[in-house]
Amino acid sequence: ELHGNTNLEICVKCEKEYMRDHHTRNAIHYLDHRTGRMCTVKGCQGALKDTIINFTENLPEKPLEDSESHSKKADLCLAMGSSLRVTPAALMPEEVGRSRSGRLVIVNLQSTPLDHIATLRINALCDNVMVALMKELDTEIPEFRLLRFIRLQRNSSGKKIGISAVDSDDTPLSLFTEVELNGKTQTKEPFIFKVNPKSVNLNVDIRLHFVGNYNEPPLEFSRTVRADDCLTLSTKFNPMNGQWTNPSSNSEMDLSEEKDLVVNDTEGSESSHSPLSNPNPE
């Protein structure tokens, strides 16, 4: 994405990317890209910035280099829904179109400056073209599903349970606006609840409220959590029918590494950092 993504922010130190459920831009000044959030990669704590590219600003170096490299190798370029007027991005399909071995296909309802070098010009909606193309390729278009990972951890004394969200690479995420556990409600990170330590196998009823970029309804589920448990559950959301799958033990992440701990057994010694920067409540 040469011109950035409104929901994507990146760490200025380690370059870890964070795809959010909301627009990341917070800065008032035109050229200020800081979002006010910090990187949650262990030991980093770098400032995060949005990835939006404004007019007069240079494109990010690495994506630009990769795009130019792919363009030089391509024998087909499919330009869909683009005006093909903004450089240097527009130079890439032009390079393919002017190449002896290259073919440029343009899909747009309006004319573009590169129409005259296109091998094929399709005046239609992009979605309609892709449906027809996939049918021709005899390839089914998969339905979109939103995959989420939920972390539940109870400390060794059994006094506290932490609830957070993580990405597929186990990086903490901020997804919840409100968390309910057995009738108790919290609206601010870290979501850490005090529970009865005498309940060895504690049954918890959980209700999660999301930022709602995909209009997700609250997710409700129940689990039994033992002292010193660290559970990572996966669930999928279908935006077409507005339904979640029942959270299940995750099999799509590598959880072999031991997790760091955030909540101590000592009373009142909760970390001042969000559990999303260190998600395990011990």
44 is in an annotated binding site: yes
Per-residue H/E/C for the chain: CCCCCCCEEEECCCCCEEECCCCCCCCCCCCCCEEEEECCCCCCCCEEEECCCCCCCCCCHHHHHHHHHHHHHCCEEEEECCCCCCCCCCHHHHHHHHCCCCEEEEECCCCCCCHHHCCEEECCCHHHHHHHHHHHCCCCCCCCCEEEEEEEEECCCCCEEEEEEECCCCCEECCEEEEEECCEEECCCCEEEECCCCCCEEEEEEEEEECCCCCCCCEEEEEEEECCCEEEEEEEEECCCCEECCCEECCCCCCCCCCCECECCCCCCECCCCHHHCCECC
Active site residues: 3
39 is in an annotated binding site: yes
Distance, in Å, from the CA atom of 258 to the CA atom of 277, rounded to the nearest integer, reads 15
11 is in an annotated binding site: yes
Binding-site residues for Zn(2+), in ranges, read 11, 14, 39, 44
